[in-house]
Structure 1
Amino acid sequence: MKADFAVRNFSELIAAVPFLLGYHPHDAVALVGMRDRLLDFGACFDLPPPDLDEAAARAEFGEVAAAIHRQEPDAVVIIGYGRPDRVTPAMLRMAEALLTLGIRIEDALRVHEGRWWSYACDDRDCCPPEGTHCLPPDSVIAAEATYRGQVALPSRSDLIAQLASVDGPARQAMTAATERARSRFADLVSGSADMKRIRRAGRLAVREAEKRYRSGGVLTDDETAWLGVLLADPRMEDYAVDRAGPQEWRAQLWTDVLRRVEPVHVPAPACLLGFTAWMLGRGALARVAVDRALDAEPGHELADLLHRLLGFAISPEMVRRWRR
């Protein structure tokens, strides 16, 4: 995730990482890219299993390093989260992969149970063997991130849960609304199917949804179901993608639609959320949304494209530079 955080020391950097990622890492390795003395981006992956063979480990860490290299950072800080017996082997492999590509490592840190240690510093005055206390949850860094509207959920599982489908009475209401939307669509294309009418209805539904969320409103069940049915047409999905932009209200729009539509209509709003999150620099959210799209429809064209975009760590800024 893009951040442009200014930090003065490693304690502040560690406090900023959950807001870079959108969640607090556990049993994971995070990489923070630095540019012009600012935190430029963050990436995170789970610790590999202990029994992972050497060839597979080299390939896995090599892919991560290549993705970081494409971001062109001035330097990288590696942060491992967990016990030393699990974290240290992963840190060594990650450092080797980064150095092989000529990426400068500012430092390598380990965080566990409210303390942090440096692998590179053995000065007892600044890096005591018992570790350094992490900043409290109400630190200045946390307050600044919250003021910016950034959040740090307790774990990645909580991020996934935020995009889960609604259930109970809300699901029952959406199932009924979807049946009405399908009947409405059947009436729209009855007789000789007029594609202009479908496109007109789809564009109107997208624009109305954008207008509603831009002004702080929400869609009704019937409006959400109607939009979901229309977005099943790839041309309507493309129309919504063409209108996408890095606005938080768009992320809220597609999050709501994704959670409320019936499972068969999940791919389009999931992709639209993923694309919006990518433009906002919220990589973890983008990844979770794209994964939902692919789970619902393996091989979905736009989801597959976004999956590769995220896998190659191509940032919006890189695209803007290519355009220039």
Structure 2
Amino acid sequence: MNSTEQPRISVRSPADLIAAVPYLLGFHPADSLVVLALRGRRIVFAARADLPPSGADAGPVARHLTAVIRRQSAEAATIIGYGPAARVTAAVDALRHAVGETSITVVDALRVGDGRYWSYVCADPGCCPPEGTPYDAAASQVTATAVFAGQVALPDRAALTARVAPVTGPAREAMRAATAQARARLGELLRSVPPEELSSARAVTRPAGAAHRAALEQTRRGERLSDQAVAWLGVLLTFLPARDDVWERTEGDDAHVDLWTDVFRRSEPELVAAPGSLLAFAAFRAGQGALAAVALERVLARQPDYSMALLLDDLLRQAVPPSRFTDWPTLNDKRATLPRRARRHRPR
């Protein structure tokens, strides 16, 4: 699920809508049910779900997507199903029914496949022929605008998942050695500090802050972090005060997303929870909900009780807009900015 607040994309036709979807989601959907929330003629939010299997009840998926767009204060919605008619039609019908029970107007409902689209709303063969309407997304002004703005649409969701996959082979072996060195370095650090600093957590928050600042500066310069820098940052982030201090400084610009993507991919499996969650938060703030979701999937598969990941997963499921975090972290208590359900998870 992605907010599209930055930038907003104007739509003027069904072909524009279809061209916009991959850039709103971050990848080209297949076998998917997508709903676009509209205010006026602008898309403000996009949500996607897998098509239910043939013959399965589409009601739960339809009700979930309807709840998502209602939280965006949508005035209208367009529904798009990707796949064969045998699977798409039942899912689109269920979603049209669920949205129809709200005050949101269904502007159009489409099926997309093989370079053509069909409307479930328009019955005029003059503008909506039964054989479908061909479209060329590459020729759309929406596509040109998205590319110019630096937005990327990966081939499919698998490509997005691969973007956060762990490194393997020699790179993994090098990180294993660097992590062992970082653990030894941490032990020496903790043995050398006064007891009062250990009790106040300054022994880890200060070096973590310094490591984070240095890594972010390198990332902004386009420099690759050394294995030692990644391992040292990852080891320090296992301490919750250090992670939370870095969390407060995590923004939604490209440098933060790139930094945490790199650290997440290269960290040893037992250290991925913090960098993966920080990546999810940076991606969420950047409006890259799909990237945040795949990062959280990997974190929670490894550590299903990691509360920061659970909290962020809750934010995505509730479709909380990133604009709720515009003033982050000016409030003393991070949880004061979160919706009530998300506050149930104490960060740990």
Report TM bin, short chain. over 0.9
What secondary structure sits across from 2:187 in the alignment?
Answer: helix
Q: 194, 203, 211: which is aligned to 2:209?
A: 203
Unaligned runs of 5+ in 1: none
Superposition misfits of 4+ residues, deviation over 4 angstroms: 318-323
Indicate the residue corresponding to 1:4 in structure 2. Answer: 8
Letter of the 2:32 counterpart? A
Indicate the residue corresponding to 1:227 in structure 2. Answer: 233
Indicate the residue corresponding to 1:133 in structure 2. Answer: 134
Aligned pairs, number: 320
User: Residue 291 in 1 paired to residue 297 in 2?
Assistant: yes
Indicate the residue corresponding to 1:61 in structure 2. Answer: 62
Indicate the residue corresponding to 1:84 in structure 2. Answer: 85
User: What's the offset of the Cα at 1:155?
Assistant: 0.7
Rounded Cα–Cα distance in structure 2 between residues aligned with 1:31 and 1:218: 38
Indicate the residue corresponding to 2:316 in structure 1. Answer: 310
User: What's the offset of the Cα at 1:215?
Assistant: 2.7
User: What's the offset of the Cα at 1:262?
Assistant: 0.4
Indicate the residue corresponding to 2:342 in structure 1. Answer: none
Letter of the 1:180 counterpart? Q
Indicate the residue corresponding to 2:180 in structure 1. Answer: 179
Q: TM-score, with normalisation over the residues of structure 1?
A: 0.94
Cα deviation, 1:218-243, whole Å, max 9, x if unaligned, reads 31110001001011111111111101
User: Residue 273 in 1 paired to residue 279 in 2?
Assistant: yes
Letter of the 1:99 counterpart? G
Rounded Cα–Cα distance in structure 2 between residues aligned with 1:125 and 1:295: 51
User: What's the offset of the Cα at 1:318?
Assistant: 4.4
Rounded Cα–Cα distance in structure 1 between residues aligned with 2:326 and 2:225: 33
Indicate the residue corresponding to 2:101 in structure 1. Answer: 100
Q: Kindly, what percent of the aligned residue pairs are identical?
A: 42
User: Residue 16 in 1 paired to residue 14 in 2?
Assistant: no
The 10-residue stretch of structure 1 (127-136 or 304-313) with the greater mean CA deviation from structure 2 = 127-136
Preserved CA contact (<8 Å) 1:15 1:134: no
Rounded Cα–Cα distance in structure 1 between residues aligned with 2:42 and 2:157: 25
What secondary structure sits across from 1:106 in the alignment?
Answer: strand
User: What's the offset of the Cα at 1:137?
Assistant: 2.9
Indicate the residue corresponding to 1:40 in structure 2. Answer: 44
Preserved CA contact (<8 Å) 1:22 1:284: yes
Q: TM-score, with normalisation over the residues of structure 2?
A: 0.88
